[in-house]
Structure 1
Amino acid sequence: MASDGANVLQAGRDLTVHVTRRRAVPAMESVSAPRSAGRIPVVPGLFVGRDRELARLAEAVAGSGRAAVVAVHGLGGVGKSTLAARFAASHAEAFGFVWWVTADSPAALDAGLAGLAAAVAPETAGLPPEERVELGTRWLATHDEWLLVLDNLTAPADAAGLLSRVRTGTVLITSRLGRGWRGVETVVLDALHPAEAVRLLTGLVRAEWPDADLADADALCAELGWLPLAVEQAAAYLAQARVTPATYLDLLARYPARMFSATAEGGDERRTAARVWRVTLDRLADTPLAGHVLRVLAWWAPEAVPRTLLAGLADEPDLVDALGRLAAHSMITLTGTTVTVHRLVQTITRTPDPHDPHRRARSIDVARDTAAAALHAAVLDLNPGLPDDWSHYHVLLPHARALLDRATHDTDTADTCALLHEFGKYLTARGDVTSAVAHLTRAVRSAERALGPDDPRTLRYRNNLAYAHWSAGDHRQAVRLHEANLADTERVLGPDHPDTLTVRNNVAYVHRGTGGLDRAIALHETNLADARRLLGPDHPNTLTIRNNLAGAHHAAGDLARAIPMYEAALADCLRVLGPHHPGTLTARVDLAGAYRAAGDVERAITLFEAVRADCERVLGPDHPDTLVALNNLATAYRSAGRLRRAIRLHEKVLADRGRVLGPDHPDTLASLNNLASTHWSAGDARRAIPLYEAAVAGCERVLGPDHPDTVSYRNNLAGARRAISHP
C-alpha cells in the first residue's frame, strides 16, 4: 500500500520515459550572417527629395567601430520609415547585413531580435523566444558592419537595454518621439518641399493613369500640408477614382471625415493620417489635457501661436506638461514663446468622427468656443485706436482670421461676436475698411442671434459697423445705419446713457459730412449740453463733442464762430488730456484747417508742421491720422502758393496711403485728386489729367458714379481737359 501523498505506480500499465534532447546552442560570436539573410522592407510608391536628410544620415554613420545610433523623428506620416528604408537599401552593400525590426512595442522589439537570431543561425529557430532574443542581442554585440533599423520605436527607454549591451555596428531608429534621445544623434524630418510633394503626387497618379488631368495638384498638396502620407493617400484615390485634384479638394471640403479615412482598393486603412495620429493620441490618453489643447490649436493659424493664448486653459504646470508631451510626440513644435501645428493635423483634429474618441463633435465644438474666448481675452485690455497696441493685434490677427474662417456664423458665441467687433475696429483704424465691414457685419448679425437685437453689445457693434461704412466711403449706408441705431439706443438705453451720447455724436458727424448741417449742429448742441450735465465739462467725450460742434460750424462756413470754439476746445484738451493725446492731436489738426480756410495760411502751416511731427512721433508715420495731417499740410502749402513743396508732400501722402490703406481706399483716391489739383495749380494740366482719370475711375469703381467725391473729381477732370483744349 502506498503512503499518503506518495506517487503511485499502478500495476498493469506500461511505463514510457520521454527524453527531450536540447539543441546545441551555437557560439553566436563565431556565426557570420549570410548577406541574403538581411531584410529591408520594400516601400511601395515613389521616393522623392530628402537629399539633405539622407546626407545627414550618411554623415552620422561614417567612421569605424561603433558607427552611430541615429534617431529620425517627426510627425506620424511624414515619411520616417520610407527615409530609413531608402537609406538602408542604398547602403546595404557597405553594411553587409541589414536587419529591420518593427519596434512599436517591447514585445515587437523582442520578436525582431528573436527573428534576427534565427536568420543568422537557423539552428536556433526551435529555441524558446526569450532565448533567441538573448542570442540575437549577443550576435549584435559581437559583430560589426551591420545596420539595425528599429522602426517606429515608441520611446527611447524601450531600446535602452539593447543599446547598453550592443556597442558595435549602426542602429537607425525611427520614432514619433522627439524628446529623450540622450547621447543619440537625431535627425528631424519635416514635410516635403512643395515642389517635391507635387512631384510625388504626379508620379504616383501617372504610374496608373498616364493621361490624368493634374491641374491644381499644387493646391491639393498645399491643402494636405505637403505631408507624404496624405499625398500618397490622395494620389491613390485620384488614380483609382479617376478624379482631378480639384474634385478631390471639393470632396475634402464637403466630406472631410470620409475623405481623410478613404483608401484605394487594397490599401491599408490603418495607414491614413487620421488613423496614424489617433494612435499617437491614444498614447497620450493619460494626459487628457493634451487632446483638448490640440483641438483648441486646430482652430487658429498653424504657425506662431503665442503660448500666452493657451494660458487660461489649465493651471500652468498641467499646460506645460500637455504641451511638452504633444511636442515630444511630434504633434506640435514648441519654442519658448510659440506653438506651431501642421495644418493637416489641425484639419483632421477639428473634423468630427464618431469612431474616433479624440474627435467627438461635442469636444471639437467646446474647443472652438474655447479658442474664441482665449482670443477675446487676449484683446480685452488693448485699444484698437492706439498704435502702441497694433503690434499685439498684428500677432493675433492671423489666428482670429483662421478661427473666423473655420467657424460658421451660426456657431458664433458672445466671445466670437466681441472678437469680431474688436478686430473690426482695429482694421478700421488701420484702413483695411473692406475687411472691417465684413467683420463688423458678421458681429452684428451673430450678436442679434446670440445676444438679441436690443442687447447693449449689439447696439455698440451696429455703431461701429456704421462708422466702418463711413470710413469705406459708403456714406449713404453709414447715415442709414447710424440713424436706425440712434433710435434703438435711445429706446433701449435711454437718452442719457453714455452710449447714447456716443451714437448721437456719430449721427451728427455723418450728417455734417453729407451736407445735413442744420441737423448736425442741432444734434451736437443737444449732445454737448447732455455731456456737460452727465459727464462733466472735462470728460474726454465732452471735449470731443465740443470740437465736433466747432467742426459743424466750420463746415457751414461760419468760421467766426468755429475758430474760437476750436481754440477753446484745444486749450481744454491740452489741459486735461495733454499735448500728445490723440484727441488733442485731432483738435490741433482741425484748428489748423480752420486757420487755412480763414486765409491765415502761414499760421496754419506752422500748426500743421508741428502737429505732423507730433503725429509721427506719437501715432507713427503710417497712422491714418498722421497721413491726414500730412495731407492737410500739403494742401496748406498749395494755398500759400508754395507748389513745389506741396507737390512733394502730396506725392508722399499718395505713396503712403497706397501702401498702408490700399489703392482703392477713399483717402488714397482723394490723394490722387489732391495731387492732380496741385499740378493743375502749377499750370501742368497734362500731368494732372491722368491723375484725375485714375481718381475718377477708382471712385466710380469703389464709391459709385453718383457719389459726391466721384462727381467732384469728374468735374475737376473736365476742367483740366478744357484747359488743354482751350489754353
Structure 2
Amino acid sequence: MEQDSKAITQTIQGLGGVGKTTLALHYAHTHRDAYQLVWWIHADTPEQITTDLAALTTRIHAAATGRTTAEDAEWAIGWLQTHPGWLLILDNAEHPDTTRHLLGQLHHTGRHLITSRFTDGWPTTPLALPLLTPDASLDLLTRLTGLTDPDNQHQARLLADDLGHLPLALEQAGAFIAQSRISVSVYRDLLRLHPAQTTSTAPPGSDPKRTMACIWRITLDTLRHTVPLAVDILRTAAWYAPTAIPRTLLAPLTDNPVNYAQALSQLAAYNMITLDTDTLSIHRLIQTIARTPDPATVDADPHRSHDAITRARHHATDLLRTALPDEPDTNVAGWPAWRTLLPHAEALLTATGPVHDTEDTDLLLTNAAIYLQSQGQIAQAITYKKRSLDTSTRLHGHDHPSTLTSRNNLAGAYQAAGDLGRAIPLYEQTLTDGVRVLGEDHPSTLASRNNLAYAYRAAGDLGRAIPLYEQTLTDRVRVLGEDHPSTLTSRNNLAYAYESAGDLGRAIPLYEQTLTDGVRVLGEDHPSTLASRNNLAYAYRAAGDLGRAIPLYEQTLTDRVRVLGEDHPDTLTSRSNLAGAYQAAGGLGRAIPLYEQTLTDRVRVLGEDHPDTLTSRNNLAYAYESAGDLGRAIPLYEQTLTDRVRVLGEDHPDTLTSRNNLAYAYESAGDLGRAIPLYEQTLTDRVRVLGEDHPDTLTSRSNLAGAYQAAGGLGRAIPLYEQTLTDRVRVLGEDHPSTLTSRSNLAYAYRAAGDLGRAIPLHEQTLIDRVRVLGEDHPSTLTSRNNLAGAYQAAGDLGRAIPLYEQTLIDCVRVLGEDHPTTRVVSANLAYAKSTNQLP
C-alpha cells in the first residue's frame, strides 16, 4: 500500500470513562492489517512514554539489548523515523506537553492516535467523544445484564440517568449486576447507600484501576499540583444540582477573580466540568464520588478524605445561604434568583443527611420552605419545615427559641395546607412552651397567641378566636406600645375576626383606626398600610357600601402598582378584589376583563398550580356564571376542581369549596342529577374535615337544602333549612349575616310549600333584622324587601306588595344602579304585580 509521507495525528478527547480507550482499541483491532506495526503507549507521564518506547525496542529485537531504558527508547524513535506504516496509540495523555517531544521527532511517517481528558493545545482539532444517548445506555446495560423484563428495563433507564450515561460506569454496573445475579434496582440501592464502595469496586476479571473513582483521581492529582483551587471548586459544586450552577455562586471560594477564572478553565480543559458564559455543569457521577469519603485504607483517595468533604459541604451550604435573597415570601425582586438557586438548594438538602444538618442548613431549610410556601408548593414546604424542627431540636433542645420558631413555622405550613387538625395542637403546644420558657409578654409569645387565634378563626371557632385576639391586642399595646407594627397587625386581625362573626359595627371602626394609625406610623406606601386599605375596602363591601368600597379598592390597586409593581402578588390580589367589587355592583362588563387579566398574570407570575392562580380560575368561573355564561363557567369550575384535588388534595378547604361551586353551577344549569350528589358529597366531606359546626359546613347544608327544594323535594329541604338556621343561631349568633340568610331561605321554602302563615312573619322578621344589622341600603336588605313583597303578593295582598316593590325598586336604582341584576328582578316583579292588579 502507498505510505503517508507525513505523520497524521488524531486526538480523541473526553471525560474520563467516556470510552476513549475503548474506541482507540476498537480502531486498532479493526485496522490492524492496514499497518506494519501497531504499538500502544501509556502516555500518562513522560516517564511512562519512555518505558513503553523501550519495550518496543525489546519487541523488535526479541532479545535484551543491553542498553538503558532511555537508550532503548531513543533506538525505537530512530526505528520509527525510518520505517513508515505504523500506528502509535498514546493513551490517556495528560497534556499536550506530555507528547510534544515525541510527536516532534515523528512528524514525517506513520499515524498517531491520542486519547486524553484534556481539551486544548493539540496539533489538530480533537474529536470530542460525547456521553451515550439514553437509548444507547439502555441497550448497553441490557446486553451486559441480559435482563429484559419490564421492571428491570425501567430500572435500567433510571440507573443510566444515575450514572449520567457514562460508558465505563455503565459497563462497570452491568458487569457487576450480571456476575452478582442481582436486579438493577438492587444495584441502584447499593449505589445510593454505599456510593464509595460501589464506584471503587471493579467487577471480577476487570482492571481494578479502571473504575470511576480511580480514573478521576489521576486528574485531581494533576489539578491539585497545578491549580489547587480547582479541586475545592469541584468538591463544593458536587453538592449542587449537576447543571446550570451559576458561576457567581462559587466565586467567593477565592478573593482573586483571575485565579477563579483559571481554575474553572482548567476544570473545563480536563472535562471535569462544562463551562458556559454564566454557568457550569458537572457530571452527576463525578458529584457522587466527589462528595463521598473514600474508606480509610492504605491507598485511600486523598481528595476524598472525610474532613475535606465535610469542609466542602459546609462551604456549599454557606455559599448558597448567602446567595439566596432575604424575605423569600415578599421580596418579589428576589424571586428570579430563588428560581435559579432553588434546584441547587434542593440538591444540597437531598444529598446532605439530616444528621449532618447545621445551623446554616437550618436557615437554608427555613428560607427555602418559606419561598416554596409562597409559591404554593405546600407539601415540599412542610417536608423542609419538619426537618428544620428536627434539626433545631437536635441542635438546641425542645425549649430553645429557635425550636419554638420552627414549631410555629410548621404549624403555619399545616394551616396553609388546610390541615388544621395538626396545625392547632402544634400552635397550642408552641404557645404553652413559649409562655413557660420566654414568659407571657415576650414578643414571640404574643406572636404565638396571635397565630393560634388565626387558626381558631380558620377552623370557624370564633368563640375561641376573638377572645384570644382581644387578649393579644391588649398585651401588645401594653408591652410594645400603641404604634408598634405588631400592635397594628393585632388590631387588623381582631377587626377581621369581628367581620367573620358578622359584627361589622365593631369591625369597620377598628379597620378605620388601623388604617389611620398605619398611615401615621408606617407611611402611606408601606405594604402594611396598603393591606389595611384593602381590608377596609373589603369590610365596606361586606356592609354593602360599594360606594366607599370601590374607590378604596381602586386607590389600593393604583398604589400597589406604583409601590410594589404590576406583578407583585399583593397587586394581583388587589386586581382580583376590585373585580369582585365591580361584580357585586352588577358591573360584570368591568369585572370579567379584570378577572381574566388577573388569571393571565397569576399564571405567568406564580404558575399554573399556585393556590392563588386556582382561586383566580374559580373567581372567573363565578363571574361567567353570574353573567349567565354557563358554557364557559362549568368547564372552568371542573378544571379548577381537578387542579385543586391534584395540587392541594381531596380534603383541602379550597378543594371542598370548588366542589360546592361546581355543584351550584350544575344546579344553575338545571342539572340537578349532577348537582345534588355533589352537594351531598361536599357536605359529608366538610363534616368529616371541618366539623359539624364550621361555617362552611353550615353553608353546604343550606346549599343542599336549596337543591332539594329546586328538585321539588320540600319535604327534605325544609327540615334541612330549619336545622341550618338552628345551628347558625347557636354557632354564629342571631345577627350574623349568614344566620339572616338562613332565616330568609327558610321563609322562602315555607312560601314555596304554601305555608304563608309561617313564611310572611319570617320574611318580616328577616327584613327588620337586616335593616337593624346591615342597614337600609345593604343589598341583602333590598333582597329581603323584595322577598316580603313577593310573600304579600302570594297572599293576594297587593295593597302591601306593590308599594313595597316600588320602594324597593327606587332604593335598588339609587344604591345598585339601573342595570344591577337585583334591580332588574325587582322591576320585573313590580310589573307583574301591577299587571295582576288591573281591573277587568
Contact residue 295 and residue 367 of structure 1 kept, 8 A: yes
Query: Given residue 214 of structure 1, which amino acid in structure 2 is its aligned partner?
Result: N
Shift of residue 496 of structure 1? 3.8
Q: How does 1:133-152 map to 2 (within 5 A)?
A: 133-138=73-78, 147-152=87-92
CA distance in 1, matches of 2:679, 2:71: 87
Q: Is residue 214 from structure 1 mapped to residue 152 from structure 2 by the alignment? A: yes
Shift of residue 424 of structure 1? 1.3
TM-score (norm 2): 0.69
Q: How does 1:344-423 map to 2 (within 5 A)?
A: 344-352=285-293, 353-355=295-297, 356=300, 357-379=302-324, 381-423=326-368
Extract unaligned runs of 5+ from structure 2.
612-642, 714-840
Contact residue 653 and residue 671 of structure 1 kept, 8 A: no
Q: Is residue 704 from structure 1 mapped to residue 689 from structure 2 by the alignment? A: yes
Q: Is residue 282 from structure 1 mapped to residue 224 from structure 2 by the alignment? A: no
Shift of residue 725 of structure 1? 2.5
Shift of residue 279 of structure 1? 2.6
What SS does the aligned partner of 1:599 have?
A: coil
Worse-superposed segment, 97-106 or 339-348: 97-106
CA distance in 2, matches of 1:272, 1:141: 36
Match of 2:669 in 1: 684
What SS does the aligned partner of 2:671 have?
A: helix
Q: Residues 70, 571 of structure 1: CA spacing in aligned structure 2 closer, same or farther, 3 A cutoff?
A: farther
Match of 1:332 in 2: 273
Q: Residues 444, 211 of structure 1: CA spacing in aligned structure 2 closer, same or farther, 3 A cutoff?
A: closer
What SS does the aligned partner of 2:209 have?
A: coil
Q: Residues 196, 612 of structure 1: CA spacing in aligned structure 2 closer, same or farther, 3 A cutoff?
A: farther
Query: Given residue 18 of structure 2, which amino acid in structure 1 is its aligned partner?
Result: V
CA distance in 2, matches of 1:699, 1:432: 27
Q: Is residue 660 from structure 1 mapped to residue 610 from structure 2 by the alignment? A: yes
Worse-superposed segment, 79-88 or 461-470: 79-88
Larger helix fraction of residues: 2
Contact residue 676 and residue 688 of structure 1 kept, 8 A: no
Match of 2:145 in 1: 205
CA distance in 1, matches of 2:514, 2:690: 38
CA distance in 1, matches of 2:235, 2:679: 48
CA distance in 2, matches of 1:410, 1:577: 43
CA distance in 2, matches of 1:702, 1:395: 43
Q: Is residue 160 from structure 1 mapped to residue 100 from structure 2 by the alignment? A: yes
Match of 2:19 in 1: 79
- Output one character per residue of 1:439-497: Cα deviation in whole Å (capped at 9) or x when no partner: 11111121011112222222222222221111111223322222222232233333443
Query: Given residue 708 of structure 2, which amino acid in structure 1 is its aligned partner?
Result: R
Match of 2:622 in 1: none
- Output one character per residue of 1:630-687: Cα deviation in whole Å (capped at 9) or x when no partner: 5544543453345677677778759958522363334753773585487479x33539
Which fold has the larger relative contact order, with Cα–Cα distance below 8 Å and residues 6 or more apart in sequence? 1
Match of 1:505 in 2: 450
Contact residue 124 and residue 132 of structure 1 kept, 8 A: no
CA distance in 1, matches of 2:24, 2:655: 59
* 1:725 counterpart (711, 721, 726): 711
Contact residue 297 and residue 371 of structure 1 kept, 8 A: yes
CA distance in 2, matches of 1:697, 1:200: 53
Query: Given residue 584 of structure 1, which amino acid in structure 2 is its aligned partner?
Result: T
- Output one character per residue of 1:349-394: Cα deviation in whole Å (capped at 9) or x when no partner: 2333223233333433343333333332333745432221122222
What SS does the aligned partner of 1:185 have?
A: coil
Shift of residue 158 of structure 1? 0.9
Shift of residue 514 of structure 1? 2.8
Q: Is residue 191 from structure 1 mapped to residue 131 from structure 2 by the alignment? A: yes
Q: Residues 594, 395 of structure 1: CA spacing in aligned structure 2 closer, same or farther, 3 A cutoff?
A: same
* 1:109 counterpart (45, 49, 53): 49
Q: Residues 597, 382 of structure 1: CA spacing in aligned structure 2 closer, same or farther, 3 A cutoff?
A: closer
Identity among equivalent positions (%) equals 42
Q: Residues 238, 336 of structure 1: CA spacing in aligned structure 2 closer, same or farther, 3 A cutoff?
A: same
Contact residue 213 and residue 244 of structure 1 kept, 8 A: no
Match of 2:180 in 1: 241
Shift of residue 712 of structure 1? 5.6
CA distance in 2, matches of 1:691, 1:171: 82
Q: How does 1:244-255 map to 2 (within 5 A)?
A: 244-255=183-194
Match of 1:587 in 2: 532
Q: Residues 210, 677 of structure 1: CA spacing in aligned structure 2 closer, same or farther, 3 A cutoff?
A: closer
Q: Residues 107, 687 of structure 1: CA spacing in aligned structure 2 closer, same or farther, 3 A cutoff?
A: farther
CA distance in 1, matches of 2:549, 2:7: 80
What SS does the aligned partner of 1:229 have?
A: helix
Worse-superposed segment, 81-90 or 136-145: 136-145
- Output one character per residue of 1:135-189: Cα deviation in whole Å (capped at 9) or x when no partner: 54456567777654321001221112223344345533211223x4265413333
Q: Residues 689, 550 of structure 1: CA spacing in aligned structure 2 closer, same or farther, 3 A cutoff?
A: farther
- Output one character per residue of 1:565-614: Cα deviation in whole Å (capped at 9) or x when no partner: 32332344345545554323422331221111101235434444554566
Q: Residues 146, 531 of structure 1: CA spacing in aligned structure 2 closer, same or farther, 3 A cutoff?
A: farther
CA distance in 2, matches of 1:304, 1:196: 25
What SS does the aligned partner of 2:272 have?
A: coil
- Output one character per residue of 1:680-704: Cα deviation in whole Å (capped at 9) or x when no partner: 79x3353995799499679959993
Match of 1:341 in 2: 282
Shift of residue 515 of structure 1? 3.4
What SS does the aligned partner of 1:431 have?
A: coil
Question: What is the RMSD of the two structures over their aligned residues, measured on CA atoms?
Answer: 4.1
What SS does the aligned partner of 1:267 have?
A: coil
Q: Residues 395, 595 of structure 1: CA spacing in aligned structure 2 closer, same or farther, 3 A cutoff?
A: same
Q: Residues 502, 337 of structure 1: CA spacing in aligned structure 2 closer, same or farther, 3 A cutoff?
A: farther
Q: How does 1:462-541 map to 2 (within 5 A)?
A: 462-517=407-462, 519-532=464-477, 535=480, 537-541=482-486
CA distance in 2, matches of 1:278, 1:385: 45
- Output one character per residue of 1:202-239: Cα deviation in whole Å (capped at 9) or x when no partner: 12223xx7899733211121122211111101111121
Query: Given residue 354 of structure 1, which amino acid in structure 2 is its aligned partner?
Result: A
CA distance in 2, matches of 1:629, 1:670: 24
What SS does the aligned partner of 1:636 have?
A: helix
What SS does the aligned partner of 1:333 have?
A: strand
Q: Residues 91, 553 of structure 1: CA spacing in aligned structure 2 closer, same or farther, 3 A cutoff?
A: same
CA distance in 2, matches of 1:504, 1:211: 58
Query: Given residue 658 of structure 2, which amino acid in structure 1 is its aligned partner?
Result: L
Shift of residue 299 of structure 1? 2.3
Q: Residues 114, 275 of structure 1: CA spacing in aligned structure 2 closer, same or farther, 3 A cutoff?
A: same
Worse-superposed segment, 625-634 or 408-417: 625-634
What SS does the aligned partner of 2:152 have?
A: coil
CA distance in 2, matches of 1:710, 1:640: 24
Worse-superposed segment, 653-662 or 165-174: 653-662
CA distance in 2, matches of 1:303, 1:386: 26
CA distance in 2, matches of 1:303, 1:572: 50
What SS does the aligned partner of 1:594 have?
A: helix
What SS does the aligned partner of 2:609 have?
A: helix
Contact residue 647 and residue 678 of structure 1 kept, 8 A: no
Q: Residues 153, 217 of structure 1: CA spacing in aligned structure 2 closer, same or farther, 3 A cutoff?
A: same
Contact residue 672 and residue 694 of structure 1 kept, 8 A: no
- Output one character per residue of 1:14-40: Cα deviation in whole Å (capped at 9) or x when no partner: xxxxxxxxxxxxxxxxxx99x9xxxxx
Shift of residue 256 of structure 1? 3.0
CA distance in 2, matches of 1:381, 1:687: 51
Match of 2:655 in 1: 669
Query: Given residue 718 of structure 1, which amino acid in structure 2 is its aligned partner?
Result: L
CA distance in 1, matches of 2:567, 2:680: 21
Match of 1:264 in 2: 203
Query: Given residue 582 of structure 1, which amino acid in structure 2 is its aligned partner?
Result: P
What SS does the aligned partner of 2:143 have?
A: helix
Shift of residue 109 of structure 1? 1.6
Worse-superposed segment, 71-80 or 530-539: 530-539
CA distance in 2, matches of 1:561, 1:458: 37
